[in-house]
Amino acid sequence: MSQHYPVLLVTVPLLSAFIISGLSWVKKSLCYPLALLALGTSVFCAIGLLLRVLDAGAVEYHLGGWVPPWGIAYRVDLLNGLVLVVVSSVAFVNLFATHKTVQKDFPEKMGIFYTLYVLFATGLMGITVTGDVFNLYVLLEIASLTAYALIALGKPDRAPLASLNYVFIGTIGACFYLLGIGYLYIMTGSLNMADIASLLPPIYHSKAVLVAFIFCMVGVLIKMGFFPLHVWLPNAYSCAPEPSSSLIAPLMTKVMVYVMIRLIFSVFLPDFSFHVLHIDHALVWLACLAIIMGSLLALAQKNIKRTLTYIIVSEIGYMVGGVWLGNRLGMSGAILHILNDAIMTLCLFLAVGNIAYRLKGLELQDLKGLFRKMPVTMAGFVAGGLSVIGIPPTCGFFSKWYLISGAIQAGQYGFMAALLFSSLVNVVLFFRIIEIAYFEPMESLHGAASGHGIRQEAPLSMLVPLLFVAISLVVVGIYSGTIVNHLIIPVLPKGIG
């Protein structure tokens, strides 16, 4: 049984998605338990897989028994083992947390929503687990197409337009990636990552390989919303309904960062990315720009959901910059930050989801007196905020520590300065929100809505996941040394100094 974990991880939710869409015609109330079951199986498989990889090294699964490079291979090492656990658990926790909102906001579309939800998770887990570059493209499109639909479920005046813009830009990104694969195929005649990696080194100086690298990277950078290519991200994520945005925002961008790392580590190899090409400095500077602009734009927003989307833009800068620092500390920081950023983004978006469940608007002035109204939710929000700022012992501190140490080791003081600057901006950002929510007197409309009792917390089924995520922020922070030593350092390729 356990040798089939890599494929069960993907096929169980994939088939369940079809069953859910069928069930939505017959019995709507069964859709949610089935989605829970499907994603629960994925979490179980992902954790089992990670433990097995820790125990016995990388696992390779040949679909249909076809040996690579002819067949499609799923390959799990520590790096994607970790990402798989993150993706499946975030999807699972968020599914649990947002059920009440789904029931309240679009009860008639519940079947469709859960179908798309499970398909989206399938796509992301497939991207993570696969060892075939074309398979990755197909699963990327599955994830993107479902993301477009999930976003379009939002408010009818803005969400379809935001989603359509995402379709345009996302398609360009995926097509660029596909073109890059085409050039790789011309040069090597293979689509298997390990096979391509073994065939590439003698032709590193070929122009076609360079073109392939550029197309793949630009495609992936578009999909992750790296700064100059980020324009689709804030609109798409802030117009999406809360249950979708707290699923897509923590996962999509992080998985794309994983794809970039995978391309560097296992397809083009670090030797090509860092020694043959000399673009690492340029990309680190672009990442600085992403961090600074993301933070400043976040500061300019008046809606907390939009603020959070711009924070994601700057966090993407952290990870891309960390990877392109090209040393062990920076890379460890970037990979650790995939884990941490997924958790803290989930924490913040879940808190926003709870706020939106009780409040009409998410503008800053709507938040007045919110600490008295929703103390537990706001505690979760503050925990997420502290982690984004980077205050120990929350996990955000530790990845930032690794990134800054990496920047100093690489002599990239600009990147260090950008990280510190963004931390400062985040302090201003979150304390402004906390100040409004804590000190400003409550508006009369809040009191009127709830009668005499001011306290009006979100339902328990939304609070428990939020608190769970907030506590895991601290737990992951405390154990980050262990995570880095056992899960991250072993996956770093040898060519990195």
Partner 1 sequence: MEALIHQIVAKYNYWLYIILMMIGLYAMIAKNNLIKKLVGMNIFQTAIILFYVSIGVKKGATIPILEEHGAGMGEHAVRVADYINPLPHVLMLTAIVVSVSTFGVALALAVKIYQQYKTLEEDEILMRLREK
Q: Which residues of this chain interact with partner 1, rule CB under 8 A?
A: 134, 138, 141, 145, 148-149, 152, 156-158, 160-161, 163-164, 167-168, 171-172, 174-175, 178-179, 182, 185-186
120 neighbors 61 (Cβ within 8 angstroms): no
Q: Residue 424 Cβ, how far from partner 1 at the closest point, in Å?
A: 33
For partner 1, the closer of residues 144 and 422 by Cβ is 144
Q: Residue 418 Cβ, how far from partner 1 at the closest point, in Å?
A: 30
Please enumerate in sequence order all residues whose Cβ is within 8 A of that of 389, keeping only pairs 6 or more positions apart, or say none.
396, 423, 426, 427, 430
Beta bridge partners of 72: none
Beta bridge partners of 75: 60
For partner 1, the closer of residues 108 and 157 by Cβ is 157
Q: Residue 111 Cβ, how far from partner 1 at the closest point, in Å?
A: 17
Q: Residue 158 Cβ, how far from partner 1 at the closest point, in Å?
A: 7
For partner 1, the closer of residues 174 and 221 by Cβ is 174
For partner 1, the closer of residues 34 and 149 by Cβ is 149
78 neighbors 54 (Cβ within 8 angstroms): yes
Q: Residue 356 Cβ, how far from partner 1 at the closest point, in Å?
A: 19
For partner 1, the closer of residues 94 and 135 by Cβ is 135
Q: Residue 305 Cβ, how far from partner 1 at the closest point, in Å?
A: 17
For partner 1, the closer of residues 168 and 479 by Cβ is 168
Residues 351 and 13: their CA atoms lie apart, in Å, by: 27
Please enumerate in sequence order all residues whose Cβ is within 8 A of that of 290, keeping only pairs 6 or more positions apart, or say none.
226, 227, 230, 313, 314, 316, 317, 320, 321
Q: Residue 170 Cβ, how far from partner 1 at the closest point, in Å?
A: 9
Sign of CA dihedral 252, 257, 260, 264: negative
For partner 1, the closer of residues 218 and 386 by Cβ is 218
For partner 1, the closer of residues 21 and 456 by Cβ is 21
Neighbours of 416 (CB within 10 A): 18
- Helices (DSSP H) in 390-450: which residue ranges? 395-410, 413-439, 444-450
Residues 306 and 237: their CA atoms lie apart, in Å, by: 8
Q: Residue 145 Cβ, how far from partner 1 at the closest point, in Å?
A: 6
- Helices (DSSP H) in 99-206: which residue ranges? 99-105, 110-129, 133-152, 159-188, 193-199
* Burial call 120-140: b when 16+ CB within 10 Å, e when fewer: bbbbbbbbbbbbbbbbbbbbb
For partner 1, the closer of residues 163 and 377 by Cβ is 163
Q: Residue 159 Cβ, how far from partner 1 at the closest point, in Å?
A: 8
* Burial call 371-397: b when 16+ CB within 10 Å, e when fewer: bbbbebbbbbbbbbbbbbbbbeebbbb
325 neighbors 332 (Cβ within 8 angstroms): no
